[in-house]
Structure 1
Amino acid sequence: MATETVAKPRTSLRVGIQKFGTFLSGMIMPNIGAFIAWGLITALFIEKGWIPVPALGGFGTNAAGDPNVGLVGPMITYLLPLLIAYTGGKMVYDVRGGVVGAIGTMGVIVGAGIPMFIGAMIMGPLGGWTMKKIDLLWEGKIRPGFEMLVNNFSAGIWGALLAMLGFYGISPLVQAFSTGAGNVVQFLVNNGLLPLTSIFIEPAKVLFLNNAINHGVLTPLGIQQSLEQGKSILFLLEANPGPGLGILLAYMFFGRGVAKASASGAAIIHALGGIHEIYFPYVLMRPMLILASIAGGMTGIATLAVTNSGLVAPAAPGSIIAVLAQTSRDSYVGVILAVVLATAVSFLVASVILKTTKHSDEGDLNAATSKMEAMKGKKSSVSSTLTGVGTAVLAGPIKNIVFACDAGMGSSAMGASVLRNKIKAAGFPDVKVTNAAIASLSDTYDVVITHQDLTERAQPVTASAMHFSVDNFMNSPRYDEIVELVKSSNTEEITTAEPAAAPAVTHGAHAAEPAAAVGPAAAPAAGAKGVLLAESVVLNGTATDRDGAIDEAGKLLLDRGAVDISYVHAMHEREESVSTYMGSFLAIPHGTNAAKDHIMHSAVSIVRYPQGIDWNGKQVKFVVGVAGINNEHLHILSSIAKIFTNKAQVAQLEEAGTVEEVLDLFGKVNA
């Protein structure tokens, strides 16, 4: 009981920190481009810049003898805080909240007379939240025709009041806070204590949200310091790629298994791409490596402090390229040295840990990546680089797998049936394997499987899922990988019963039945037209190429009255975009998703080519034309899938002398 009582508050605190940190960084990150633009203008055109230009840098006087305003001052004083405020207000209450938040922030800016990033991060969300509450007071009570009048004046009046509140009330408080925070930083610098911040920053990066630390806290303070001193060390407290790079280099030399093999690719992404979360799973595999990260971080900060080096603006992402682009003109030696020394120290400490501790990295990388994402409360966009299996890594057991194709009724149904058999045979009958059209996908699946030519279309709408690309739906080697992934992710839920002795491809007929969205594998309802009839089976096709075979299979559907001629045209269109070759001498041409309106009733045609025909470089002996409504065709596709994953049954089909033998092999699907 004591353990449970203690654990719950910790979880709540972690989640609360994550949400708060995400919100803070969410105001900064969309505007990083503006920060970089300001940093480049500052580095180039100020009086001590690379190309001093008085009119742009804001120094000297113009032709009338008045001081040049330049771009640097107005951008840092007005543009950046207002962008942050607008973004924060919009996060709370869309564009209306963003506008009111920006108006309120203007009062803080004018009242303080200094860049008000902290003030913007307060007034932006406050303006959006209060405007939202005010609108609720008269929601549904405004007479028709007066909505625009009320909305515009309420936003204007409340925005003006917030600007005055910011001018008289908020700006003095924020100015005092900024001054105090700056004094704390300066105290740490003057007393040589700033490197100690790595003790908190490095573990927090791995355990919570690195962007929250960098962009939510350090960037606003760094901008203020940069304005006063021309550069800031704060921009590199978290963004220095050295500590993580040292750990990945150590894995390249002294790691084992998957971790060692993937470390080199991860190091490139980390150092050049600036995506630091790529190294977090490597630390989680060996928690002691956090000491290497801390040591590297402290070394880098100490080097920056000793050489009085810094950046003029945030380096985002934390790539060595971005770091050098934002380095102050007098700090290149110090910044480069800070990165190199941080890498070296981190590498040495990590190497000692890896060499002196007994541990097998083989198979742990997936688990560590999942652990990282579970702690962060979000999926990673780069973790597939570590695991090699998709665009995201699961933070829990796999329960929902979908095969997606253009129309969702042919190749995807076949692939789903094959994989469903394999997963059931492995002892996981509760794992749902369905098929769908790409157009109907939603981000609710654990695993998405597509033909390699369709993966890019499926990824944007299923960003949270792991993606597998295949070029052979019948016997792709990726299926075994997925089965192993299901096993590892469902370890605690594996039943004690032994898996069926028979292999997946010869498992009982029920194992091949589609589930859930695919529909039950029952025969068509009473009164429905037969899906596969003897008249739709041809044992000796006459076509000699792919297009002719599609026409031949399509004509059988057309003769049945199952489709109109437009559907046959759509079968060719589908083939031009993505091949319907399935493997095992089988192709299943079918129409596009847009052609479903041209299907009158479900039907399947089968044409055999004993000598085989060329299908985009693959030999095909069986062409199965498919037209389906409401999943009525899935029963026959399930039977086809089961047969074509069994070499003996494929051989029987090749030797069949009558149409009845073919129908018997498919289990008399119309019974």
Structure 2
Amino acid sequence: MSTLEQSAPAPKKTGGVKQATQKFGRFLSAMVMPNIGAFIAWGFLTALFIEAGYLPNEDLASLVDPMIKYLLPLLIAYSGGKAIHDHRGGVLGAIAAMGVIVGADIPMFIGAMIMGPLAGYVIKQFDKYIGSKTPSGFEMLVNNFSAGIIGMLLAIAGFYGVGPVVSAFTDLLASGVDAILGWGLLPLASIFIEPAKILFLNNAINHGILSPIGIQQAGEFGKSIMFLLEANPGPGLGLLLAYSIFGKGSIKGSAPGAAIIHFFGGIHEVYFPYVLMKPIMFVSVIVSGMAGVFTFSLLDAGLIAAASPGSIIALMLMSPKGGYIPVIAGVLVAAVVSFLLSSLFLRRSAATDEDLDKAKEAVSDLKNSSKGISTNETAGTADLSNKAHINKIIFACDAGMGSSAMGATSFRKKVKNAGLPIEVTNTAIENIPLDADLVVTQQNLTPRAKAKAPNAVHVSIDNFVNNPIYDKLIEELKAKAEQPDTSPVPEYAQEDVTESLDKTFPEDAVNTKNNGETDGSGVLRKENIVLQLPSVSKEDAIRRAGESLVSAGYVQPHYVDAMIEREGVATTYIGNGVAIPHGVGEAKKEIKTSGIVIHQYPEGVEFEGGTAYLVIGIAGAGREHLQILTKIAEAIEDESTVTRLARVTDPDELYNTFGV
């Protein structure tokens, strides 16, 4: 089932422990997965250059300890804070995490997972409270000093309060793991881990428990068995091989391909339907998982860092020097046990094609229901004619590394074969770019994608691999490329941006090129460019722009009310992420001299007609401002320019783009 959608009713939410656990797991994954490359880099440095490594080098080995104690926790804390409150939250998260890092003698990953999101939440609430209360012209001062003061307080709290508590908790967990290993009970963990994978609860277990303990053990001993518990591809491989031999019909035909994707690609979820179509197969993956863990424990197997994705290739790359055979043995034992048990179950009662179809639906239902989305809900549909141009297509998933990458690769080939000049790439939901024209996500992730890219066309699918919607999309894209642009959008959005500006100021619409140049050097001043403002209502954004015009000496205070009244008559959003609030008519009497102020809102302000990332307050008394307005119009015709300017942190970039 797949739908094209641009707007749909909000999905119903349902409660439950499973939903809460998976939501928690997704959040932990969002902190860890973007930084997997850094973990792998640390793992390679450890494997190669420590005293027991392949190429011992004392100088390069000195990188290992600072990376695990400082760099990796700081990256996690930054990602956690950023997930709550964008870059500002990430910076506060990193500052706060330094408190727990310095206050502990062990790698403080759990502490970073606490302090990062906590700091992001605190600064988000502060910004929400302070909002438009900040006097115009003092925004940068307030933003910088509030971040510094709050960050300092959180770092102190982490050092004296959170750090010691997390250290004690980590030591307790480590002691528990050591005890379980000593008693030979670690294989029992598979009773929880294997079903949790199929129920999509593995992120909470993996990133919340196994990885932090594994990283600590790897720092002390050079490897950890914790990295193998969830990543072992053996149980799934044995199951799929059994279906390849003893399955029937299309089940037998599809299993070999799934086995290759699972074992070499590390995409474990491809074998979930084969378990769900015969619930007795839970016994197979649990018992084989236990056999694999027992072998790992017996042979002292371990990895130097997390293997992501969980493919045999990743396992080999993360194996320590001399540690390949124990790892391979554990995977092989798990695969053999899984194959034997699965073959026995299949020979007693073969599955049918109908069972496989139902199982695939069950996997989709598990994803949706665990996130509070009913599978009976259908989203509103729309065709691509609602978008003027399709230049960039984004495939997005939670982490942006696994299933979305496969989908993007598959669709990119189709786009290339169709001869379409369209960029196709993949990313995490949280990193969907502002200039995305079309976003493809799994159905349960579409609401989150819409929040990140409200102006894009959204395509909801149930899976990324071999989806029939791809061919339909290609046909629609080809048809669109062959037709003139006839987008059914509002009149103000159909107009050329320059024409919109002229119609906005009819009494000042003068062709400056034909009537000589006008000196606009004093109309836009650097001090009137304000960056990194938190998202507010359009009324507050207009009022802030008006107050800036007043503070700059361009207008009288009553002009601010006229700007808000003007917005009630017709929107001043002119497209491409830009709004130009201003007063007209009698409000002209309130203007002292022509002037322009520019306010940047990286998270956007909702205007009628679209989201504005640049709010440009304008006071136009004569012709002085027209030269800058012309330059602004020319610049924002290119949507990518606005996308870039919405994120810059140096006011000179805006001034050099718009100034004269």
TM-score bracket, shorter-length normalisation: 0.5 to 0.7
- 1:121 maps to what in 2? 113
Instruction: Label 1:330 to 1:593 Cα distance change in 2 as closer, same or farther (>3 A).
Output: farther
Q: Would you say the 8 A contact 2:392–2:422 is kept in 1?
A: no
> Gaps spanning 5+ residues in structure 1: where?
1-7, 58-69, 381-393, 409-434, 479-573, 581-587, 600-671
Corresponding position of 2:128 = 136
Structure 1 residues 172 and 203: CA distance shift in structure 2, 3 A: same
2:252 equivalent among 254, 260, 268: 260
The structure with more radius of gyration: 1
Shift of 1:365: 3.0
For the pair 1:365 / 2:369, whether they are aligned, the reply is: no
Q: Which residue does 1:662 correspond to in 2?
A: none
SS of match in other structure, 1:144: coil
Residues 43-442 of structure 1 mapped to structure 2, 5 A cutoff: 43-57=47-61, 70-360=62-352, 362-377=353-368, 395-396=375-376, 404=384, 438=390
**How far has the Cα of 1:252 moved from its partner?**
0.7
Q: CA deviation at 1:153?
A: 0.6
Q: Secondary structure at the match of 1:253?
A: helix
2:17 is the counterpart of 1:13:
yes
Match of 1:61 in 2: none
The AA in structure 2 aligned to 1:373 is S
Secondary structure of the residue aligned to 1:249 is helix
Task: Give the CA deviation at 1:14.
Answer: 1.3
Percentage of pairs with the same residue? 50
CA offsets per residue over residues 610-639 of structure 1, 9 Å max, x none? xxxxxxxxxxxxxxxxxxxxxxxxxxxxxx
Structure 1 37/396 Cα, relative in aligned 2: closer, same or farther at 3 Å? farther
In the TM superposition, residue 367 of structure 1 has moved relative to its aligned partner by 3.0
d(CA) in 1 for partners of 2:200 and 2:360? 14
* Paired position in structure 2 for 1:461: 439
Aligned length: 427
Alpha-carbon distance in structure 1 between the residues aligned to 2:76 and 2:253? 41
Tell me which amino acid in the other structure corresponds to 1:364: D
Q: Is the 8 A contact 1:370 1:395 kept in 2?
A: no
What CA distance in whole angstroms lies between the structure 2 residues aligned with 1:442 and 1:592?
22
Amino acid at match of 1:270: H
Q: 1:219-238 CA distances to partner (integer Å, 9 max, x unpaired)? A: 11100011111110000000
Contact in 1 for aligned 2:31/2:79 (Cα 8 Å): yes
Amino acid at match of 1:35: F
Write the distance in 2 (CA, Å) between the matches of 1:275 and 1:208: 13
Residue in 1 aligned with 2:26?
22
- Could you tell me how far apart the structure 2 residues matched to 1:154 and 1:470 are? 48
Structure 2 vs 1, CA of residues 118 and 14 (structure 1 numbering), >3 Å: closer, same or farther? same
**Structure 2 alignment gaps of length 5 or more:** 1-11, 397-410, 426-437, 443-459, 462-466, 495-660
- 21, 31, 36: which is aligned to 1:32? 36
What TM-score do the two structures reach when normalised by structure 2? 0.59
The 1:49/1:287 distance shift into structure 2, 3 A limit, reads: same
C-alpha change, 1:124 and 1:397, in structure 2 (3 Å) is: closer
* Corresponding letter in the other structure for 1:183: S
| Matched AA of 1:468 | P
Q: Is the 8 A contact 1:209 1:376 kept in 2?
A: no
Cα 1:275–1:315 change in 2 (3 A) is same
Where relative contact order (Cα < 8 A, 6+ residues apart) is larger, the structure is 2
Q: Per-residue deviation at 1:368?
A: 1.9
User: Partner amino acid for 1:30?
Assistant: P
Report the CA distance shift for 1:84/1:368 in structure 2 as closer, same or farther (over 3 A).
same
Q: Secondary structure of 2:297's partner? A: helix
Which AA in structure 2 matches 1:368?
A: A
Mapped contact 2:25–2:207 kept (Cα < 8 A): no
| Secondary structure in structure 2 of the residue aligned to 1:317 | coil
1:594 Cα deviation after fit: 8.9
Q: 1:440–1:87: structure 2 CA closer, same or farther, 3 Å change rule? A: closer
Partner of 2:446: none
Q: What displacement does 1:364 show?
A: 3.4
SS for the counterpart of 2:319 is coil
1:18 Cα shift?
A: 1.0
Counterparts of 1:486-565 in structure 2, within 5 Å, are none
TM-score (norm 1): 0.58
Report SS of the residue matched to 1:461: strand
Instruction: Determine if the alignment matches structure 1 residue 41 to structure 2 residue 45.
Output: yes
The residue aligned with 1:411 is none
Instruction: Give 1:282 deviation, angstroms.
Output: 1.2
Measure the CA separation in 1 of the matches of 2:472 and 2:57. Answer: 61
CA contact (8 A) 2:211 2:227 kept: yes
CA deviations 1:60-85 (Å, max 9, x no partner) are xxxxxxxxxx1100000000000000
Using the alignment, how far apart are the partners of 1:307 and 1:442 within structure 2?
Answer: 44
From the superposition, tell whether residues 83 and 441 of structure 1 become closer, same or farther in structure 2 (CA, over 3 Å).
closer
Q: 1:241–1:339: 8 Å Cα contact kept in structure 2?
A: yes
Shift of 1:470: 8.4
Counterpart of 1:301, as a letter, is V
Q: CA deviation at 1:204?
A: 0.7
Q: Which amino acid in structure 1 is aligned with residue 354 of structure 2?
A: G
Shift of 1:355: 1.2
1:590 & 1:176 partners in 2: Cα distance? Answer: 66
Q: Are the counterparts in 2 of residues 28 and 216 from structure 1 also a CA contact under 8 Å?
A: no
Partner Cα distance (1:379, 1:114) in 2: 35
Cα distance change, pair 592–366 in 1 and its aligned pair in 2 (3 A) = farther
1:102 to partner: Cα distance: 0.8
Q: Distance in 2 between matches of 1:471 and 1:273?
A: 24
Corresponding residue of 1:430: none
Deviation at 1:398, TM superposition (A): 6.3
Shift of 1:354: 1.2
1:379 is displaced (CA, Å) by 11
Question: Residues 159 and 327 of structure 1: is their aligned pair in 2 closer, same or farther, counting only changes over 3 Å?
Answer: same
Report deviation, 1:54.
0.7
Quick one: which amino acid aligns to residue 118 of structure 1? I
